[in-house]
Structure 1
């Protein structure tokens, strides 16, 4: 998770390496399925759009994610840096989960991030498309939590 342990999170302006590392830290926080951990990667006043839902501040982000992960079971996500400049990053992602009926889904989307000077996300816009998949079509099979370093990336998986 961002800022976990002794390692400080990367700060803008980014290099190729630090921008990719920032995307991985955010992915790790999302895969923890811990709304508080995700919110710590945001400023207190962070604004976020997730599909058609607009959120203002950490408390709304936490409430949204708690409900999301109550209904999106066995959630796993991969994020991949697409581009960055200054304090802005574009990240593409895919995630898989099942609902309470057992139906599996894959969501693919793009996120645009604007970070403050200290690294937390001040603005996030996410555009996401969902598709129902059969369990046999799943590609994300690691145990719940952080994606193993040797698991294929989105590019390797062809997503």
Structure 2
């Protein structure tokens, strides 16, 4: 029997938000194997202009990503849901090896199988340079923080 990743579809407001918060927490660990475990073994991704298929490609992609995007900290917010699909908006901040800080804004479309594993992820992302003094996303989301960071 395949792994189960509750909550399972079809999603409601509560279970969709649980899925989003669980993804945020996993991505903030910067552990490619842990993150990839939430996807089907043949999951299909579009991340910006990169197309991936399968956990092994996801792990390799995330490993390289977090070697390049240092001090990565992410916030994801539920945008919409229906059936086995969830739409998310997100922001993350990271610095490059030259010490420049970036804030990245994006939207993701997620599709899940009946076991609650993500079988499709499509992400569109834009990067904006920021000063270190402009950072507002540091570490994991504080307990009780339900507000999304402002868009600007």
* TM-score (normalised: structure 2): 0.93
CA contact (8 A) 1:23 1:81 kept: yes
Is 1:149 matched with 2:143? yes
Q: Which runs of 5+ in 1 are unaligned?
A: none
| Offset at residue 149 of structure 1 (A) | 1.9
Match in the other structure for 1:124? 121
Q: How many residues matched?
A: 149
1:8-157 matched pairs, under 5 angstroms: 9-142=6-139, 146-151=140-145, 153-154=147-148, 157=149
CA RMSD after TM alignment: 1.6
Q: Which runs of 5+ in 2 are unaligned?
A: none
* TM-score (normalised: structure 1): 0.89
Structure 1 CA distance for aligned equivalents of residues 145 and 102 of structure 2: 19
| Offset at residue 158 of structure 1 (A) | 1.6
Match in the other structure for 1:158? 150
| Offset at residue 63 of structure 1 (A) | 0.0
The CA deviation string for residues 89-139 of structure 1, in whole angstroms up to 9 with x for no partner, is 100000000001110000000000010011010000000000000011110
Which runs of 4 or more aligned residues in structure 1 lie more than 6 Å from their structure 2 counterparts after TM superposition?
Answer: none
